[in-house]
Each structure stands twice: as C-alpha cells, then as structure tokens.
Amino acid sequence: MNTPSPTLRQVLAAALGRAAGPSAAAAPEPARAVDVQVCEWAVAGAALAQAGARFAGLWVDHGVHPWQALALFARDGEYLLLRAALEDAAAPALPSLGAYYAAAVRIECGCADLLGVRFEGLADTRRWLRHRAWSEQEHPLRAPPVPRARTPGDTDYPFATVHGDAVHEVPVGPIHAGTIEPGHFRFAAVGEQVLRLELRLGWAHRGVQALAAGRDSAGLLRLAARVSGDSAVAHAWAAAMALERAAGATVPPRALALRALLLERERVANHLGDAGGIANDVGFSFAQMQFGALRERWQRRSAALFGHRLLFDVLVAGGVRGDLDTDGMAALLADHRELRAVLAPLTDIVLDHPSLDDRLIGAGVLSAADARALGCLGFVGRASAQDLDLRRDAPHAPYDTLAVRVPVYTQGDVAARLRVRLDEIQVSLELMDALLAQLPAGPVAASWQAPAGGGAGLGMVEGWRGETLAWVRLDAAGRVACYVPRDPSVFNWPALERLLPGNIVADFPVCNKSVNGSYAGHDL
C-alpha cells in the first residue's frame, strides 16, 4: 500500500515545527499560502526543494507596509505561496534561495536591481536588469530615477572569462542584424567550438510594474497583452484571472471557452512561426516559406473574427470582447481540417529530411537534469523529459472538462524542441475542435465590479511558452496597486547557456530559435 506524499503545507509545517493549519490570510486560488518569518525563508526553501517542489517565481510587493516577499512553488499540480514581511523598508533583506534553486538567482538579481532588496548569500551580485541608466544608489521601481542627458555605455559588465591560449571571445548584440529584440550574448570559443555562453539581458526593460500602478481593469489588461506581444492572450488571461479572483467575480462559461480557443490559436500561430524559423536558421527556406504562409493565413483569420492578428485586447475583465457566430465557427473548423491536411506531409518532410536531421539532431542538447534544475517550462522543458502542463496538472475551466495530451521527449535537442511544437499544434487542433463542439450558450462577459476595499489574486495559464503567471493587488478604490507578470522565458533563457557549449558558433542561431525566449517577457 502506497503512503500518500505529504502536502507542501505539511512539508513546511514539519520543517518549521508548527501546525499545518490554514494561513492567517488566505491565498488566492489555486495556491495555498504559508506565512513565514524572514529568518525562516531559507529553511522553507530548503524543505520545499528537498520535497521535490518546483520553484515557480518570486516577487516583492513594495506597495504595502511592510513590504511583502512572495515565492511560488509547485509539485504534482499543487501550488504553495510562501510569504514573508520585510519589516525594514529602508534596507529590505531576505535570504537567497539560490543554493536550493538555480532558477531563483537571476530573479533575485532582478529584485535587487529594481527594488534594492539585499539577498543574503546571493551568488551573483552583478547588475542584471539595472544597466548604466541608473547610478549605484538608484533602484527604478523604488523611486523615480534622476533624468540623465545621456546614458553611459554599459561597457564594464564583468563577464566570466575563460582562459587559454587558443580561447577567443565572440560578442553578439545587444543590437542585432535582424528584427529581434536586444540581448547580448558573449561566447568563449576555441576555433568554432563554444566553450561557454553568457547572456546579458535587461535592455528591453520598460518598468511594467510602475506602468501598471493606478490603472483600472481595462488599462491593466491592455498593458498585460503587451508584456510580450507574441503572448498577448496568455498574459492577458493570467492578469484577468488574477483580477477576477481578487474581485470574486464569476466568468460566464462561454467566455471561458472562447478564452481557451484564443489561447490555443495563439499557441498554433507561434509554433508555426517557430517551426519555420528553425528550418530557416539552417538554410531550409522551403519549410520556412510553407510554415510562414500557414501562420499568415491563421493570423488573418484571427484578425477577421476577433479583431487583431495577434489577438490584442480581446479579453476584458469578466469575459471577452465580442462573440463567435455559427459562420465563424464553421470557418474555424474548416481551417482546422485544412491545416491538418497541409501539416501532415510538411511534418514528414521536416522530421525526416537528411539535411535537416544533420543540423537538428544532437544539436543544443539540454539534459533532463539541467532542465529540472533551471525549472524549464513549455516546449523547452517537455523536450527534455519535463512532463509539465498546467492545462492537465492543475486545470482551470474550461480545461478541467477537456483531455489534454502532453507530448514529452527525452532527447533534449533542437529536433526534440521542434517535434514538441509540431505535436502541440495537433493537440491544440483537437482542443479547439472540442471547444467548438461544446461551446456553451450564454453571455460572453459578466459585468465588472471592482472589489470594495481591495483584494489580491493570482492568475496562471499554460501559454504557448509554458506556465504564465500574474499577481495583482487592488487598492481600496479598485485600482491596481501591484501587478507582477512572470513569463516562462525567465526560466527558459538560462537553458541556452547550458545547451550551447560543445556546439559550434554557427549553430547558435538555430539553438537560440529552438528556445525562443522572450526578451520583453524577461526584462519587464
């Protein structure tokens, strides 16, 4: 007889020597909260790591007194929110969780940069998001920075150095030849073989948390859709879910089904684009043109039926903007049949073509151990044996009524990350057919009423890159006091540093595209 594993709350209760009762203040669904003292923070982190919990995010709400540090953990579909009050706002400090979770280090670096929180024991104290636009004493989210006539060049970042007579460095970015966003990549190589890669991000920092403060629900969702433009639905739905949980609002079933339809359309569009991009980065332009044409037709349909190619501003608090009539449903079902028919031979070509196999199989291998240590999400994690999908593991409506297949591979290479994407397109088509077949009748939005006296909520959806989060706290007037989005790219970008060594410099573009982290989603 198998003994059930203790819940994460019970794990913490045992580690901290206290009863596993409810927290003094309930956490928003689906997480359960545990309040700890700052001195217990590292003990709690160590206990959760020992219990096999996944680190899912960390942020600081500095709009309350005292400041509140929050960290989210997950295991087997169970979520736990760890909270601690930072009593000293003048010099906020917290033990680092980096010794237990490698994924926490750069998130802590970001909090240190933007808010001046000191993480005791943090292994990396270099500036991460706070470039030379701000002095050593300035923290952009803590107080408005002093305007400067000109920002000094960021020339003194202490990249790690690899020594050796034949070692040379190759700096790439932050300005690139293509249309991608800014990011710096520093290679150490011998000949063409990469020994080390180090990322330097933060160039697209826009102050999203500051921009959100004081907004109403409509203003917040407009901002959320632009956190990462290719994930407009994922971030908007996470933010809407957080708002609705803060307000105790009920979203009509038809609206939830339409949101899921939009989320799956976003997934398909991006996977089509990435499949073409991966092929193009190794010179296979035929596939790039085919996938590009399919994506273009898909996005034109989105524009015709939902008002925007990238599905911006379709979600509203309490539901969605606009409805889908019978003609629209028929058009979508026809599109699904056509896409399946075209994808079948195209998939056979890209997964079994000698020139592609030569460049993709065995390139950019991310081990399962590294993927687990970094907390990799979405197609990056699933290509490296991480069997995680919020739609199946902790489903919210309407996914709690759907059967979600989760493709998982163990090879961890570029070919596996491509294969996961192609499989997920088929899964999304299945889900969208099911959603349309059982689309509930009724309204597409509930009237929105901001909660009297404020409130807080946590929203989580499985976006196309993986688990996408939003934390929202509303003030007494129903305006946004704190909004913290967490894009999957925060956990997926470091994978690039792990998977590239041993490859040649010329394979960097395809390895990078196979991960396809969002610069904007990371930098915020």
Per-residue pLDDT of the chain (524 residues; tens, 9 = 90+): 456 678 898 888 888 887 665 554 444 557 788 899 999 999 999 999 999 999 999 999 998 989 999 999 999 999 999 999 998 888 899 999 999 999 999 999 999 999 999 999 999 988 888 787 788 888 888 877 777 778 777 788 899 989 888 999 999 988 887 778 899 999 999 999 999 999 999 888 888 999 999 999 999 999 999 999 999 999 999 999 999 999 999 999 999 999 999 999 999 999 999 999 999 999 999 999 999 999 999 999 999 999 999 999 999 999 999 999 999 999 999 999 999 999 999 999 999 999 899 999 999 999 999 999 999 999 999 999 999 999 999 999 999 999 999 999 999 999 999 999 999 999 999 999 999 999 999 999 999 998 888 899 999 999 999 999 999 999 999 999 999 999 999 999 999 999 999 999 999 999 999 999 999 999 98
Distances (CA, A) of 510 to 273, 410, 464, 516: 13, 19, 19, 9
Structural domains of the chain, ranges and CATH numbers in brackets: 8-120 (3.30.460.80), 208-268+298-484 (1.10.645.10)
Are 189 and 166 within 8 A, CB to CB?
no
C-beta of residue 273 within 8 angstroms of C-beta of residue 288: no
Report the distance separating Cα 61 and Cα 76, nearest Å: 27
Measured distance CA(468)–CA(258) in Å, rounded: 18
What pLDDT sits at residue 3?
Answer: 63
Helix (H) or strand (E) holding 81: strand 78-86
Residues in the chain: 524
Query: What is the 8-class DSSP label of residue 65?
Result: S
Task: Give helix 104-115 / helix 489-499 axis angle, nearest 10°.
Answer: 120
According to the 3-state scheme, what is the secondary structure of 215-282? CCHHHHHHHHCCCCHHHHHHHHHHHHHHHHHHHCCCCCHHHHHHHHHHHHHHHHHHHHHHHHHHHHCC
Residue 86: C-alpha distances to residues 70, 91, 216 (Å): 11, 9, 27
Tokens at residue 34, please? 């545990």
pTM for this structure? 0.95
Task: Calculate the dihedral angle through the C-alpha atoms of 409, 412, 414, 415, rounding to the nearest 10 degrees.
Answer: -30
Q: Report which of 343, 364, 360, 359 is spatially closest to residue 287, judged by C-alpha positions.
A: 343
Beta-carbon contacts of 48 under 8 Å, excluding residues fewer than 6 positions away, are 8, 11, 12, 55, 73, 80, 82, 100
Phi, then psi, of 189 in degrees rounded to 5: -140, 155
Residue 205 identity? H
The vertex-485 CA angle with 37 and 268, nearest 5°, equals 140
Q: Which two tokens stand for residue 450?
A: 């901001």
Residue type for position 171: P
pLDDT for 142-185, tens place per residue?
877 777 778 777 788 899 989 888 999 999 988 887 778 899 99
Which residue matches tokens 């005292």?
Answer: 66
Distance (Å, whole) CA 325 – CA 260: 16
Long-range contact pairs involving 214-219 (C-beta distance under 8 Å, separation at least 24)? 214/479, 214/480, 215/479, 215/480, 215/483, 216/450, 216/478, 216/479, 216/480, 217/243, 217/316, 217/317, 217/448, 217/450, 217/478, 218/316, 218/317, 219/480
Q: Which two tokens stand for residue 315?
A: 């979600």
Q: How far is CA 418 from the centre of its chain?
A: 19
